Structure formats: C-alpha cells, structure tokens
Structure 1
Amino acid sequence: MTGLRERQKADRTRRILEAASTLFRAQGYDAVRIEDIAAAAEVSSGTCYNYFSTKGDILLAIVSMEVEEVVEAGESVVADPPPDIAQALDALIRIYYNHSLHYLSKAMWRTAMALSIGAPGTPFSQRYTALDGLLTGQVCALIAALRQRGLAREDFDVQAMGQIIFSSLNQLFMEFVKQDEMALSDLHRSSAAQTAALAMLMRR
C-alpha cells in the first residue's frame, strides 16, 4: 500500500509540473496561478498546495526535474567517454544544452535565475545552487574518467578544472537565456570554441 501511495504521489507531482511547464510557457510565469496549474493537472488546489507552497517552489521543481534528467543522461558519457578530451566535454555539454528547453522556456530560466540571485539565503536559492553543484560534480567525474584513461594530464586539480569548465558553460548558457534571438546552434558553436581551448590545457 505504501508503494502504491508513493507512485500515486509521484504521478500527481509529475502532472502538476508538466501542467505548470505548459502554462508558464503559454501565459508567462506571472500570469499563472497555482489554481490554474491544479485545474490543468486535474488535481485539487489543496493537493497542489500540499505539494508546493508557492509558484517559485513549482518552478524550482521543474528546474530540478530538468537537471536530474540531464545528469542521468550524462552518465553514459562519463562511463564511456569519447577518446578525445574536447569531444568528451562537448558530448556532455551538448546533453545539458539540448535538454535545457524541454521543460523550461528562456523566460522561465530567467525567472528562476532572478529568484535565485534576488534572495540568495532562501531555500529556493540554496537548492538552485545545489543543482549547479550536481552538474559541476558530473563534469569533474568526466575529467577524472579521462585522466584514468590516460588522456588528461595529472598535474592539475580535477575539482578546480571542473568548476572552471562548468562556470564557462554556465556563463554561456546565461547569455543564451538572456537573448531571445540567440539560437541553440549559436550556443553550441560558442561552447565548442571554449571547450577546445580548455581541452588543450588538459591534454597530456
């Protein structure tokens, strides 16, 4: 019975998040009420409020769902990376970028970033930072795997290099999100150029 209740809760949560994603895209974050999301998800408003206290909580949960899915997808690259540093980094980063607009629009990303930056001490901001840490950790794991295969030099700090690479890809993503006219292909080109430069510093 406990397992059934957990599955039902997971199903309702997923419906709420998918409904919110659709409504936020169509109407804009500010225009949507939690009651609208509950109706679209076919749950009661009380159920929606039991799971999420605010729209910000719902938006963060969508971001979390996005990050968790790309990290899961990225595990295959970490487990069996291409035999070239630049190609390996590019393969992982492309997974991140290509999935970035699956649940969230650029406007939704801007709202999430603004909420995180505007109130750095809130649980929302702390969780958002933790999600960045999850992605940074996977980049570090990829670098460690490349080193284990003898492709990367031994004389640099894996954690520091992973943070540098994530900071680079994150900054490019922020620029992508800020500019509605910037295409995903433009983001990939900019990222590939930076990745190639960083890979040169890491090669044996």
Structure 2
Amino acid sequence: MTSALLPILPLRRDDLPVDTVELARYMVGKYLVHDLPEGRISGRIVETEAYPLGDSTSHAFGGLRSYNASMFLARGHAYVRLTYGVSIMLNMSSEAEGTGAGILIRALEPLEGLPLMEARRPGVKPRDLARGPGRLTQAFGITQAFDGRDLCTGRDLWIGRIEGRDGPIGVGRRIGLSREMHQPLRFYEPGSPFVSGPRKLLLTRAIL
C-alpha cells in the first residue's frame, strides 16, 4: 500500500448520463474504489458492457422481480448477482428510477491495494487480478451483500474520476451471450492489456 492515495474524485449521480449505452461508454476510464479497514483498493475501469432497454439478455427484460430490483433504482446503484452459480458480477443501474437496465463492469486495471487483491487471488499475475467480471469482484472483495449499494456516495464501495485521465474508447461485440452478441455494446480502452476476452473481438477500427 502507498501512503499517498490517488486523487480520485467521487462521481455524483448528476455526472452520469441517463442512458444505458452512453453510461457504459462514459464509465470507461473512470475508477472503482473499495475503502476497507485494512486499506484502499482501486482500479481504472477499462471495459464495460451495456444491457439497455428492450435487450432480451438483460436481467431486467422480464420486468421488476425481487432478484433484479436494484436494476430499477436510479442510475449509479450496484446490482450484484451470482451468475451460473460460480461468479459474482458487478453491474450498475443505468436509467431513471423505475426503469430497469444496467451496465456490467467487465475489467479493471488494478492500481491501489495490490497486496489486498493478491491475497484474495493468490498466485495470479497482476494483469489478471481484475481482467474479467468474476475476477474483479473477487479481487475487490465484492459480495452479494453490496447489491443495491449507492455507488455515488464516495464511501465504502464507490465510483470516481481523475481529472484529465479520459482517453479514446473502442467498441465491439459483447462476450459470453447466446443471443444478441452482434450488438456493439461492449466498450473498452484500446491497447489496455487488462481488457478481457479474445483480442479478435476488439474492433479497434471503431474508436470513439
């Protein structure tokens, strides 16, 4: 752990676009922070996926249920779900309150608290600590207890930004779906070694 923390500024809800696709694009280059008693863990978000209104692969597609209620909260709340009975995924609500949609945080570049991450993922190279949605929740100590958490508070588990750190953004197909994979709803930081998935799926010709 370093003594000087990165100058990460909390994101306010008003900073977040009220549109799922725009929010997924906006969050690339922003930061996820988990402040723990033993220290801070943080990482730069390098990959997201959008699950907008009308998307049949979205957990909100069938309407409001007890298990997906967090997707219907105002944008900026955590939706944490166990997927395939194996991996915990961190999503974020992405529309106005009462409208179900979300974005998946797919990959992070680890920055602060690497020893804490490595303790949760022993024997893993730094590049792979948070390269993938299940890996990043494990490294950050994110459990289903965080479901519904407001990520715009600047406390505990939160999202933030650093002035002047945004760069170009690439767009490509989503990963791990059996349908609607062709949709250009996956956003990432071009050239980052921390982006997940096969490199052939990164359509670097489509830079935003």
Which TM-score band applies after superposition, normalised by the shorter structure? under 0.3
TM-score under structure 1 length normalisation: 0.25
- Whichever structure has more strand as a proportion of its residues is 2
Larger radius of gyration: 1
Structure-2-length-normalised TM-score = 0.24
> Which structure dedicates a bigger proportion of its chain to helix?
1
